[in-house]
Amino acid sequence: MRANLLKYVGLWLLVGLLGCDLFAPRPPEPPMQEGGTFLQPDTPERVVENLQAAIAERNAGNYVRSLAEDFTFVPTASAETRDPALWVGWGRSAEEQYFSALVAALTPLAVPQLQLSAPTRRFENPTRYVLEATYQLTVPHTRPDAPTLVAGRLIWEITQQANGLWALTRWTDRQQGEMPSWSELKRAFVN
């Protein structure tokens, strides 16, 4: 028994001399995913909620997670006329580039806000949902050449993906009145 006690005392002395702290907390592991609000997109409405949350939280990762791999954006007619080459092939990567640049230009502590009003919602078939709504987006950023308030009408086509989850597949922007549209904001931040 005395021999076992000496072994344990010797082991603890060795640990102490080597400076190894067995009971110290280890460094935290990096998070598995980006923070922010992101709900499982198991309904089309969740995709809309996730996009609104990503905008308010300035979260480019969650914004892009809401887009389908084959996402396309159709700008307003006036934006397309002004810069037709810009919009050719506008897809998920261009959308990510625009939103990341916008987030980088937001003023500290700014909370962008997307308001949707006068919505009409319909399922065109069991895997295709369409939301049409009037939008107003406020984005307090530092760029003098880009609007901080845009408004118009959007058409979001949200489809069920092969994995059963929903994602924004096609976004059509429509001008309403004289206020700059979301297309103008995207154009300013992607150029």
State the pairing for strand pair 113-125/128-138. Answer: antiparallel
Name the token pair of 18.
């080597």
CATH says 38-190 is which class? alpha beta
pLDDT of 95: 97
Identify the band that residue 33 occupies on the pLDDT scale cut at 50, 70 and 90. Answer: very low
DSSP annotation of 26 reads P
Where along the chain do its domains lie?
A: 38-190
DSSP annotation of 19 reads T
Ramachandran area for residue 45 (φ above 0: left; ψ -120 to 50: alpha; else beta): alpha
| 6-18 pLDDT, tens digit each | 565 555 544 555 5
Rg of the Cα atoms in the chain:
25
Q: What is the pTM of this model?
A: 0.80
**Residue 131: beta bridge partners?**
121, 156
pLDDT of 138: 96
pLDDT of 15: 52
Q: How many CB atoms lie within 10 A of CB 144?
A: 6
Place of tokens 């895997």: 127
| 48-103 pLDDT, tens digit each | 999 999 999 999 999 999 999 999 999 999 999 999 999 999 999 999 999 999 99
